[in-house]
Structure 1
Amino acid sequence: MTVETVLADLVGFPSVCRTPNGAIIEHVRAYLAGHGVDSVIVPGPEGDRANLFATIGPKVEGGIILSAHLDVVPAPPEGWVGDPFRLRRDGKRLIGRGAVDMKGFAACMLASVPALVAKKLARPVHIALSYDEEVGCVGVRHLIARLPELCPPVIGCIVGEPSGLRPVLAHKGKIAQRVTVDGKAGHSSRTDLGDNAIHYAAGLIAAIHEEALRHVRQGPFAEAFAPPYSTIQVGVIKGGTGINIVPAQCVFEVEARAIAGQEPAALLGFLPGVAERIAREAAATGHKVDFSFETMSDYPPLALDESDPLVAFTETASGQGRQAAVSYGTEAGLFQRAGIAAIVCGPGDVDRAHKPEEYITDAELAGAMAMIARVADRLC
């Protein structure tokens, strides 16, 4: 089975994040079983989603984990020439949702299975496939928690997010929070009798903006990233029902992206204190406002030391030199937090991800197949 055929099968499953993924997991399990490879299904607490882990070769120390996520972002029809969940060829491009992010690498992993099984591996190749990466690296946390029982210690984990097959040593971490501001509704002719939730939210948002500017001005700075500092921004805001109604509620979502060396959650640690101050000031004038905070997603930065053996291993396998850092996030930081060296290295360009007509090229898939073959050679 060619890598294109494997990719077509994977793209054909509309495994959109936050939806059940049993069909694609069963497809992969059956495919591996057909090549004599047993899988362990690692379910999540949602009850309708699961990860998959498999080992090819002896269950000894010193293997490599190849990691990919099987979920994709939604694919609204605008901008697509054809069905986003049916792989389509256009010259040397293979087009479909998830083609580059990141079913392309998953397809290379699976298409390599027959060759990996046939090799006399002295150390194993482990396959890790996760769910709901696109909404905060949700599923892989449950897989990582099971790794001590699933495999002996490894050299490290190669997360195949699109990097042009350049090994990436660092990426930013991220936290996203939903802030709900509750006031009191009223007629706009008597604003004195209401508690305007949008106004109170605006006070907190102004503080967020000022904190974001402080990072721009004062850092800390890490020149490998673009931009070279941690960022904070409000991306969504909703509130109010009519111009003549004092809004009782306002909800907004804020994210922070942290350079290596900073914890994402710490970047938003100032918010409760500011909210308490706003509430006290409101109470002093006879008004009332309540703030509540919900963490939507949170994953750590990645910072792999240049001297780690995984760096040279991956450079040799990919045939490309290392890249210091990228600003997007991956599951690699979670592997590293669990004590597993991790690096990002996969086919394609991340700039094509999450867009209509997402694609990967024949050459990029061939390059990833060759990389996996060289990984196996190093383990023989």
Structure 2
Amino acid sequence: MNPQSMLSSLVAFPSVVGTPNGALIDYVRDYLAMHDVASVVIGGPEGDRFNLFATIGPAAVPGYILSGHVDVVPGNEPAWRGDPFRLRTVGDRLVARGAVDMKGFVAAVLSAVPDLVAMRLERPIHIALSYDEEAGCRGVPHLIEKLPTLCAPPLGCIVGEPTGLVPVLRHKGKASLRIVAKGRAGHSSRPDLGENAIHALLPVLGLIAREAERQREAGPTDAHFLPPYSTIQVGTIAGGEALNIIPDAASAEVEARAIAGVDPLALLEPALAAVAGDEALSAEVVARYPGLSLAGDHPLARLAGELSGHAPLAAVSFGTEAGLFQAAGIPSIVCGPGDIARAHKPEEYITVAELMAARDMVLRLGLRLGAGLPAVRSAAAQ
């Protein structure tokens, strides 16, 4: 199957983040089975969402993971000029929800499967597909947990988020909280008879703002990033029904984005401690994933540069699942087709040339592993 046809099949599954994806995973599993590639489906605690892991080549030999998520953001924007879950060709553009983020990379990998099988790889290529990445990388940890039972320790992982096929060495980590305050409603003329939930939020929100300023002024820095320090912000606040009603409920969503080497959840610990000390407040960790940091002279960086034809880029501002693979001891890099600026927008697209270039990159990896060339060893093995 050519990559355009595979992409058309994949985007036809409306695998919106937070919704069931079993039909898409079944489709991929059946496709792989047609080419005598076995796969393992790894469910999450939700019960209706699944990861998939497949190996081409000898699983007992260290190889490389090609990783992508199959969930997409909703396609409800009115500016779509057609069904977002039906691939359209507009000039050289392939338009659909998920075309660039990131079913394009997945389509490139899957379309290359028959050729990879024919190469009789001496070192394996693993395909890792995950769910609910868009909700804070919720699915892939369940896959990573199973990896020791599925294959030899991998030499590296390429996460195919859209980077213009330029290998990316670093990204920030992220943690997010939802803080909820409970009060007691009443008329605003008698605040002594009620409890204002919005007011209950204010001390912890002020603490968050002060910590954000402290990180800017005195926190550790990494010049590879813009800005070069860890950031914290209150992104949303909700509460209240009318000006003359004491609000009985309020909530705020907070995120921290941490430079590599800093635990993003640790940046929110002061807020969590304040919440724990106030019976009117509660907090839920919504998402958490670590940053990525790979040295420019790491063997995986050199390999990705050779495969993609591009010199590695120091850092990007968005986050990926690569940090989670790295935290599990697997050297990781981000390198995929298309431009992240097109993601999460109506008329999302990838070009035919970008899709084909990604497929060619996958085939070059296969040729390297199938031709008996020396494998790139991890830094720990050197």
TM-score range, shorter chain: over 0.9
Secondary structure of the corresponding residue to residue 265 of structure 2: helix
Q: Give the CA RMSD over aligned residues.
A: 1.3
CA distance in 2, matches of 1:78, 1:221: 41
Match of 2:361 in 1: 371
Look up the match of 2:376.
none
Indicate the SS of the match to 1:253. Answer: strand
Distance of 2:226 and 2:350 partners within structure 1: 24
Q: Does 1:294 align with 2:277?
A: no
What is the distance in 1 between the residues matched to 2:202 and 2:84?
A: 39
1:109 aligns with 109
Task: Note the C-alpha offset of 1:202.
Answer: 2.4
* Alignment-derived partner of residue 219 in structure 2: 219
Determine helix, strand or coil for the equivalent of 1:369: helix
> 1:100-146, CA deviations, whole angstroms, 9 ceiling, x for partnerless residues?
00000000000000110111211111100011110011111110011
1:318 corresponds to 2:308: yes
| Gap runs ≥5 in structure 1 | 280-288
Superposed, 1:129-168 pairs within 5 Å as: 129-168=129-168
Question: In structure 2, what residue type is equivalent to 1:311?
Answer: A
Q: Greater shift after overlay, 33-42 or 6-15? A: 33-42
Letter in 1 for 2:356: A
CA distance, structure 2, for counterparts of residue 21 and residue 80 of structure 1: 23
Confirm or deny that 1:250 pairs with 2:250.
Answer: yes
Shift of 1:275: 4.4
Is 1:270 paired with 2:260? Answer: no
Q: Report the counterpart of residue 66 of structure 2 in structure 1.
A: 66
1:237 and 2:237 are equivalent in the alignment: yes
Q: What is the letter of the counterpart of residue 172 of structure 2?
A: K
Q: Tell me which residue corresponds to 1:286.
A: none
1:13 alignment counterpart = 13
Match of 2:344 among 347, 351, 354: 354
Q: Deviations over 1:68-123 (max 9, x none)?
A: 00000111141101110001111111010000000000000000001101112111
| Structure 2 SS opposite 1:264 | coil
> Displacement of 1:248 after TM fit?
1.4
Question: Cα deviation per residue 1:193-244 (whole Å; 9 max; x = unaligned)?
Answer: 2221112212322222222122222232211112211111111211112221
Cα distance in 2 for partners of 1:335, 1:132 equals 16
For 2:207 and 2:342, locate their aligned partners in 1 and report how far apart those are by CA, in whole Å.
34
**Secondary structure of residue in 2 paired with 1:225:** coil
TM-score normalised by length of structure 2: 0.94
What percent identity do the matched residue pairs reach?
Answer: 58
Aligned: 1:39 with 2:39: yes
> Which shows bigger deviation, 104-113 or 41-50?
41-50
Aligned to 2:48: 48
Q: Distance in 2 between matches of 1:215 and 1:352?
A: 31
Match of 1:338 among 328, 334, 349: 328
Cα distance per residue 1:318-340 (max 9 Å; x no partner): 11100111111111111111111
State the SS of the aligned residue for 2:252: strand
**For residue 203 of structure 1, what is the aligned residue in structure 2?**
203
Amino acid at match of 2:295: D
Is the 2:207–2:270 Cα contact (8 Å) retained in structure 1?
Answer: no
Q: Is the 8 A contact 2:296 2:312 kept in 1?
A: no
Inter-partner Cα distance in structure 1 for 2:354 and 2:257: 29
Query: Residue 58 of structure 1: CA displacement?
Result: 1.7
Paired position in structure 2 for 1:282: none
Aligned partners of 2:275 and 2:282 also within 8 Å: no
**Secondary structure, aligned partner of 1:321:** coil
Q: How far, CA to CA, are the matches of 2:283 and 2:347 in structure 1?
A: 36
Unaligned runs of 5+ in 2: 371-382
| 2:233 aligned counterpart, secondary structure | strand
Contact 2:43–2:51 (Cα < 8 Å) also in 1: yes
Residues 219 and 116 of structure 1, relative CA distance in 2, 3 Å threshold: same
- TM-score, structure 1 normalization: 0.95
Aligned AA for 1:341?
Answer: P
Name 1:86's counterpart in structure 2. 86
Q: Distance in 2 between matches of 1:354 and 1:276?
A: 35
